[in-house]
């Protein structure tokens, strides 16, 4: 009996291990899995309510700040003017005979002589990703590359500002109620940065009238304003900057002597160690703020090929002066070690050296590190905010990388949101106490031009942005070291 039972168990085991058993085992597993499946439909998801709690602004420099969604609806606004893109040959420069005839005929408008450079193409003059082209296509190329999502809004703001400036230009071609030479110079720079020259539409007449005004204001000594005043000293530098850029972008012959006479005033007013002071005094006091405008003017004149025997030497000296004004923490002081060293002043020195070709030098790198904490907050502005942000934006743009991305995400929406409905800006510094606003509380032209130039940083057509060639500047004097321009 036991042997029979054992034989039966053996037969069953062999049967289960065979093909039939394998089939039954798999069927059992499938049925078990089907029992675990729930074929009923999921109930519809219920909406979730949440409350947004603002978080304090982070100081984490490794992450860009969150984008702000509450911008005005500028995307649906058509720009006031879109320059046409033309494929026309560059015009032939006017002959010497034509220019001499214009000089001998008082009725001849010198600015009516055709530009030597096309208003559409500036090959070899303007550098950057635009390859020398100006117009909407080139602006969009650079704007979308460097401005990211903000460019579609900033360009509308820029167009509104250009139109506001056109409507507020005075009959004599100037702007402002005070400091009119300086304000006119800033306005000219604003139009040129957008690619608007004397031949442009619809702003060619606006630019021409402004240039005529400054030409008429310049005296035989080359001064655009009385340089024996603080404001006149700044005005001289700004006007030389504007006229140098105008000549560099148009090659109108009448502008060359105006530029060169103005440059001579700056170089003659420079101190032996490279600094610049109010009223171009040689007392030993030097001023980083004034030096910044002078550096921009000297660079613009150099790129425009101004003829002055000491121009390169003056540029060399100016850089040496800026470097000597750096503090141990990387910032730059205003006049001397006992004066303030703000983000704005630091950016002035950094940009000056970047434009001169020293962007990789140790002093510039230390200055940019100090500027990592710079902020753009319209409600809590620093002293002289429009001035400071103008320089900080350019310095960080030239630096590029994550620091530029973070700054772009911070300053662009602040500027867009703070523009007045008529296209102008009021300085953020108007909320500050007396003595900390500089000249920003005097008229909206100053705030509007600086704000517009700041927003044009993505594509500025000003030849000043063109790098210098790789060669050493002439030494200032015996014992002065040569400084390599990169």
Quick count: other Cβ atoms within 10 Å of Cβ 5?
A: 9
53-57, 71-75, 154-158: which range is least confident on average?
Answer: 53-57
Domain of 301, CATH number, reads 1.50.10.20
Whether residue 273 is contained in a domain is answered as yes
Confidence of residue 124 (pLDDT cuts 50, 70, 90): very low
Count the neighbouring beta carbons within 10 Å of the beta carbon of residue 281: 13
Cβ contact 420:426 at 8 Å: yes
Give the Å distances, CA to CA, from 236 to 294, 297, 334. Answer: 9, 9, 20
**Residue at 115 is within a domain:** no
Work out the end-to-end distance of the chain between its first and last CA atoms, rounded to an integer number of angstroms.
106
∠ CA 108-114-120, rounded to 5°: 150
Asked if residue 285 is part of any domain, the answer here is yes
Cis preceding-peptide flag for 202 (omega within 30 of 0): yes
For residue 323, is it within any domain? yes
Q: What percent of the chain has pLDDT over 90?
A: 60
In a domain, 87, yes or no: no
Using the 8-state DSSP alphabet, how is residue 465 labeled? G
pTM for the predicted model, two decimal places: 0.74
Contacts of 78 (CB under 8 A, 6+ apart): none
pLDDT attached to residue 343: 97
Residue 360 is assigned to a structural domain of this protein:
yes
325 in Cβ contact with 333 (< 8 Å): yes
Q: How many domains does the chain have?
A: 1
Give Cβ neighbours of residue 466 (< 8 Å, ≥ 6 apart): 125, 126, 127, 303
For the record, the structure tokens of 337 come out as: 């070690």
Q: Which pLDDT value is given to residue 19?
A: 60
Residue 328 has pLDDT above 70, yes or no: yes
User: What's the length of the chain?
Assistant: 486
340: tokens are: 């303030």
pLDDT at 462: 83
Q: How far apart are CA 107 and CA 53, in angstroms?
A: 69
The answer for residues whose C-beta is within 8 angstroms of residue 157's C-beta and 6 or more apart is 74, 415, 416, 419, 423, 452, 455
Q: Which of 136, 148, 169 is nearest to 407 (CA)?
A: 148
Q: What's the token pair of residue 224?
A: 């655009």
Q: Print the domain residue range for 392.
A: 121-485
Q: Give the pLDDT band (50/70/90) at residue 89.
A: very low
With vertex at residue 190, the alpha carbon angle to CA 406 and CA 137, rounded to the nearest 5 degrees, is 70
At a CB cut-off of 8 Å and minimum separation 6, what does 426 contact?
418, 420, 444, 447
Q: Would you place residue 441 in the very low, low, confident or very high pLDDT band (cuts 50, 70, 90)?
A: confident
Whole-number pLDDT of residue 193 = 96
User: pLDDT value at position 181?
Assistant: 97
**Is the pLDDT confidence value at 163 over 70?**
yes
Q: Which of 101-105, 200-204, 403-407 has the lowest mean pLDDT?
A: 101-105
Contact by Cβ (8 Å): 117, 142: no
| Per-residue pLDDT reduced to its tens digit, 7-50 | 555 555 554 555 655 555 566 666 665 555 555 554 554 454 44
Q: Tell me, yes or no, whether 411 lies in a domain.
A: yes
Q: Which of helix, strand or coil describes residue 326?
A: strand
Read off the pLDDT of residues 455-467 as tens digits, 9 standing for 90 and up.
999 998 888 877 7
Q: Is residue 420 part of a domain?
A: yes
Most confident among 114-123, 291-300, 436-445 (mean pLDDT): 291-300
Distance CA 373, CA 381 (A): 14
SS3 332: strand
pLDDT at res. 119:
32
């Amino acid at each position: 009996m036991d042997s029979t039972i054992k034989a039966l168990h053996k037969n069953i085991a062999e049967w289960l291990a065979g093909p039939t058993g394998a089939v039954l085992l798999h069927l059992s597993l499938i049925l078990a899995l089907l029992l675990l499946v729930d074929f009923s439909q999921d109930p519809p998801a219920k909406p979730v309510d949440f409350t947004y709690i603002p978080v304090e602004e982070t100081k984490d420099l490794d992450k860009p700040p969150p984008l702000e969604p509450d911008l005005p609806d500028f995307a649906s606004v058509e720009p006031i003017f879109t320059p046409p893109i033309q494929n026309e040959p560059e015009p032939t420069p006017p002959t010497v005979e034509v220019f001499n005839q214009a000089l001998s005929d008082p009725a001849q408008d010198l600015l009516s002589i055709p530009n030597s450079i096309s208003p559409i193409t500036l090959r070899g003059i303007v550098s950057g990703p635009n390859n020398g082209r100006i117009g909407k296509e080139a602006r969009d190329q650079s704007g979308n590359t460097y401005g990211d999502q903000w460019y579609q809004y900033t360009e509308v703001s820029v167009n509104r500002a250009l139109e506001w400036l056109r409507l507020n230009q005075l009959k004599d071609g100037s702007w402002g109620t005070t400091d009119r030479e300086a304000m006119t110079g800033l306005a000219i720079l604003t139009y040129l940065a957008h690619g608007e020259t004397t031949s442009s539409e619809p702003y060619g007449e606006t630019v021409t009238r402004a240039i005529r005004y400054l030409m008429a204001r310049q005296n035989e000594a080359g001064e655009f304003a009385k340089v024996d005043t603080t404001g006149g000293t700044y005005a001289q530098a700004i006007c030389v900057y504007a006229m140098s850029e105008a000549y560099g972008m148009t090659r109108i012959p009448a502008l060359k002597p105006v530029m060169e006479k103005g440059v001579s005033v700056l170089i003659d007013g420079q101190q032996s160690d490279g600094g610049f002071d109010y009223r171009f005094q040689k007392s030993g006091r030097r001023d980083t703020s004034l030096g910044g405008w002078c550096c921009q003017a000297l660079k613009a004149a150099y790129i425009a090929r101004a003829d002055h025997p000491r121009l390169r030497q003056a540029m060399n000296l100016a850089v040496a002066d800026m470097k000597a004004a750096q503090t141990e923490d990387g910032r730059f002081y205003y006049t001397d070690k006992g004066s303030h060293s703000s983000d704005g002043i630091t950016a002035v020195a950094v940009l000056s050296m970047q434009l001169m070709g020293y962007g990789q030098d140790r002093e510039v790198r230390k200055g940019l590190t100090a500027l990592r904490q710079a902020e753009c907050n319209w409600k809590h502005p620093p002293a002289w905010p429009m001035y400071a942000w103008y320089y900080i934006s350019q310095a960080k743009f030239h630096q590029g990388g994550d620091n530029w991305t973070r700054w772009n995400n911070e300053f662009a929406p602040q500027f867009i949101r703070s523009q007045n409905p008529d296209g102008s800006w009021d300085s953020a510094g108007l909320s500050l106490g007396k003595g900390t606003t500089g000249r920003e509380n005097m008229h909206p032209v100053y705030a509007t031009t600086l704000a517009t130039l700041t927003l044009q940083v993505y594509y500025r057509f000003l030849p000043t942005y063109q790098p210098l060639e790789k060669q050493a500047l002439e030494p200032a004097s015996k014992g002065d070291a040569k400084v390599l321009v990169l």
